Amino acid sequence: MSLPNVLTYARIVAVPTLVACLLLLTGDVARWSAFALFVAAAVTDYLDGYLARAWEQQSTLGGMLDPIADKLIVGAALMMLVYDNTIKGASIWAAIIILSREILVSGLREFLATLNVKVHVTQLAKWKTTVQMVALAVLLAGPAAEKILPGVTLAGLGLLWIAALLTLLTGYDYLKAAVRHAINH
């Protein structure tokens, strides 16, 4: 029960809570609640890994659950944003690209683990995650934030497309590593 693992568990619990905010609450309260919850989850994503390394509390359980928690919160946010038409039209493709990459990378990591190969997270992948989290946070605030700063949703969609592009690039890196190792075995 180390603090880094507790933070990861909290991110997993945040998934149904985020969905409930957007389904059960209404108007600005729903949006700002979902925004605050998502931002808190994004901060704990950074903190759990940092603290685990700094305090030498890295664990197999944390290493397994951390990427799962990330994918769950991102997937839930994307699904809810498509559901409520914040992400619509051609921008749904950006969401599909992001979700597809997340599933692909999970499968590739699992495959590479069977070969005792670990692919380290690149700096570009860290940027992808940052842009993706900012885009989703902005889009979750969406209509509520528009009242304060018009154009917020459009900016969030732009960031989502940048995240989708970075997603393609980093997904290709994982795919290339997996193919290289599969051919050599």
Nearest Cα neighbor of 133 from 42, 46, 15, 34 is 42
The model's pLDDT over 86-105, given as tens digits with 9 standing for 90+, comes to 999 999 999 999 999 989 88
Token pair listed for 98: 């992001």
pLDDT in tens, 38-83: 999 999 988 988 888 898 888 888 888 888 999 999 999 999 999 9
Amino acid at 78: L
DSSP string, 132-181: HHHHHHHHHHHHHHHTTSTTHHHHHHHHHHHHHHHHHHHHHHHHHHHHHH
Greater confidence (79 vs 182) lies with 79
Fold of 3-184: Four Helix Bundle (Hemerythrin (Met), subunit A) (1.20.120)
Predicted local confidence at residue 63, as pLDDT = 82
140 CB-side CA count, 13 A: 31
Q: Mean pLDDT throughout 134-158?
A: 97
> What is the pTM for the complete model shown?
0.92
